[in-house]
Structure 1
Amino acid sequence: MALVKFFRNLLLLLLLLYIAVLTSKTVQIFLLHKMNLMGSGWGDGAVQIFMENKTEYKSVILDMLDNNNMSAYEIDVTFAFAELLLDDEDIRSKLETISESHPQKQVRCFWHDVLNGRFEHAPVFPNQPNNGKNQFVAYRFVDNGTRCK
C-alpha cells in the first residue's frame, strides 16, 4: 500500500513538473541554455528551437534584460540568446541602453562589443569561387578590439 502511494505521488510530481516546463517560457529558455552548453551538436538544436519560437521567448529575454541585478546564469542566458534577436527593435534598443549604462561592466562591455562589431567573420581564403563551381569557404573570427570603458 505504501509503495502504491509512493508511485502515485511520484507520478503526480512528474506530471506537475512536465506541466510547469510546458507552460513556463523561462524554464524552457533555461533548459535550452543547458542544452546549448552540453555540446555534442545539441547547441545547434537549442538555437534552432529558440529561433523557431523567438516571438514567444522575446518577452522572457526582455524581462531578463530589464533586471539590473541579473544572476550569473541569467547573464549567460541573455548572452546566448538575446544576440539572436538583434533584428527586433525592442531588443536592440534595450541592448543599446544596457551597453551605455548597465551597472555591471561585464554586461555593459559585452553588449557594447556586440553592437559595435568587435568580432567579425573573415574568410580564411578570400578568393572568389572559380567558374561558378562550389568551393569550400572557411571563416575565422577577427577581433577588432574593444572600445568599452
Structure 2
Amino acid sequence: MENIKLVVIIQCAIAKRRCSGFYCMDCFYKRKGGFVDYPKEKNIQYMMFECGGCCGKEISSLLGHLSRKLKEDNEIKRDEVAIHLASCMVTDNHHYDRCPHIDYIKQIIDKQGYKNVVEGTLFAKISEKKRKSGEYNSYSRN
C-alpha cells in the first residue's frame, strides 16, 4: 500500500439510501478498519461512489471515466489506485448479507485494469462479534 495515491470506496447503492458513508470516510482518514495499512503521514486522495444498484454494472462506466481523467492528469496510474469495496457490500451486517453480485463487480474492476482491490472499510465491533458468534455469516477478506 506504499505506492497508493488514490483510494476509491465503492458503496452499495441500496445501503447508501440510509448511510451517508461517514464511517467509511472516518476509517480512511483515521487509518482504521480496512485502511490500517496505509501510511498516516502520506497524502492519499480519496473518493467515494456507489455501485449504481444491482447488478453493479454502472461501476464499469464510472471506472472508465476515472481512468480517462487519471490519464489526462497523468499524475496517478491505475496501479497507484486502491479500490475498497465497502463493508456494506462484502460483509453480512445490519443492512443485509454480502452482495450477491460481488464476483461480477470484481470482474468489472479487473477488466478496467485496477488490480488493488480490498474488501472492506469499517469493521464494526458489534458486527464482528456477531460474525464470530455465527449470528452473521463470515466471509474471508482478501
The TM-score normalised by the length of structure 1 is 0.25
Which structure shows the bigger proportion of residues in helix conformation? Answer: 1
Looking at both structures, which has the greater relative contact order when contacts are Cα pairs under 8 Å and sequence separation is at least 6? 2
In terms of Rg, which structure is larger? 1
